[in-house]
Amino acid sequence: MEELTLIPKQQAETLLPRPSRDTTPRDRRYYVWTVGCQMNVSDSDRLESALQGVGYAPADKADDASFIVLNSCSVRESAEARIIGKLGELQRVKRNNPDTKIVLWGCMVGPNNQSIFKEKLPVVDHFVSPSAVDEVLSLAPNPVYQLEEPALPMANWEHPPVSVHVPIQYGCNMSCAFCVIPLRRGREQSRPLAEVVEEVRRIVARGAKEITLLGQIVDSWGHDLPGRPDLADLLRGVHDMPGLVRLRFLTSHPAWMTDKLIATMNELPRCQPEINLPVQSGHDAMLKRMRRGYTVQRYRDLIERIRGTMPDISLTTDIIVGHPGETQACFEGTRELMQEIRFDKVHIAAFSARPGTRAADMEQDAELAISEETKHARRIELERIQEHIVTESSAQWLDKTVEVLVEGESRGRWRGRSPWNKLVFFDDRDDWTGRLALVHVTSTSPWSLQGHVIGEGTTH
């Protein structure tokens, strides 16, 4: 085997010529296809960066790649179905080019299902557990270089993204009845504070302006580390990084959100006023059945404390309708809570049974299972209510000025986000990428604001 050149990470990130899309041969082209959450997107970004660091170039389509990675999600049956469909398409690619290596990566791959998959999915050469970037990288057959350390999650070196997600914790110790993640991603594992701070420093030094710290229960970060630091400590640790403009974190769990964290968010000016706090249901019987670890009143009290400290906070949530055992009264509890809190964004999902979970067993009980028709009707009802709420809350921005961190262009217009994470579009001749723009809002829709630029924002 050809000897590899060992290159230090800094050199790989800044000095190496980018493998060219046009001239790199097929045996050093990769194709990464990602389904699922921000954690998967972040893992895939990191993998792409690492692959480019060892001499691979991206391919626009699977046919042009010798190394194909599908980063999978199993939170819902439909996500798994998309992956299975894609693997079906890849059979043709493999027939035409038998040397193609196909890796199935991510949440579909658990410790107990690999042997079943091996039989069912012969087109796959390797199965790799979620987030194991180094393991996927080691399977790439034709590296030119070898990285001394894992690469950063920034695939495009010439134009680093404005906003980067940084995983700070893997796995989850909770056991929500409906959720397959603990079975696939394992126990919680926090990355050490110094490691995260160093990674953020390197990413920001390369030009990123906004960092989102990612974890399945991000507000529980640190409880498994020596000295038990917490997320508030980590926010302080990265907050003053030169060049950093905005700091966010995702996804919180109501049982872990502390007054210290709320106070720290309020105190740190680069911390953006947004919290994602999945409630899942607005009825105690359902929360108990779902094993969420809090009551509706406790959730309400928490929201009150957050709004008491940060009155303009943007609150987003996740809700599941049609979970086994959800009576009409339970559903109405959820609807009322949604109307009472008026979230800025709600991700509403109809329950989908995941094999191996407690809720999948409950779904087998005819007395608990909810018909697909009812699930659908409940989802539509909540979506309509939410659309009405966000239409009203967006309209409040009309004729006001928002500070927008511009991420790039979209169909000839500049696209960015307000501190509350609302999408904002505007036209201007200047290049606004990575800059803060003050935008006067001239029209609103439920999901975005539009306006014109009136000046440059200020960094804190």
Closest separation in Å from C-beta 382 to ligand SF4:
18
- 385: exposed, middle or buried (C-beta count within 10 Å: 0-12, 13-18, 19+)? middle
CB of 8 to ligand SF4, least distance (A): 36
In the complex, what is the shortest distance from the CB of residue 427 to ligand SF4, in angstroms, rounded to a whole number?
Answer: 40
Tokens of 21: 């899309």
Shortest distance, CB of residue 381 to ligand SF4, whole angstroms? 23
- Report the alpha-carbon distance of residue 225 to residue 375 in Å, rounded: 41
Q: Nearer to ligand SF4 by C-beta: 178 or 426?
A: 178
Q: 282-316 in b/e burial notation, b at 16+ Cβ within 10 A?
A: bbbebbebbebebebeebeebbeebeeebeebbbb
Which of residues 160 and 282 has its CB atom nearest to ligand SF4 in the complex?
282
* Cα→Cα distances 183→14, 108, 109, 172, 238, Å: 38, 10, 10, 9, 31
Q: Which is nearer to ligand SF4, 164 or 359 (CB)?
A: 359
Beta bridge partners of 452: 427, 440
283 touches 300 (CB < 8 A): no
Distance linking the first and last C-alpha atoms of the chain: 52
CB of 391 to ligand SF4, least distance (A): 29
The answer to whether residues 232 and 261 touch, using CB atoms and an 8 Å cutoff, is: yes
C-beta of 151 vs 330, nearer to ligand SF4: 330
Q: Which residues would be at the binding site for ligand SF4 (CB under 6 A)?
A: 172, 174, 176, 179, 181-182, 216-217, 253
The two three-digit tokens of residue 318, written as one number: 């996740």
CB-nearer residue toward ligand SF4: 140 or 168: 168
* Phi, psi dihedral angles at 262 (to 5 degrees): -60, -45
**Residue with Cβ nearer ligand SF4 (290 or 313):** 290
Q: How far is the CB of 257 from ligand SF4 (least distance, A)?
A: 13
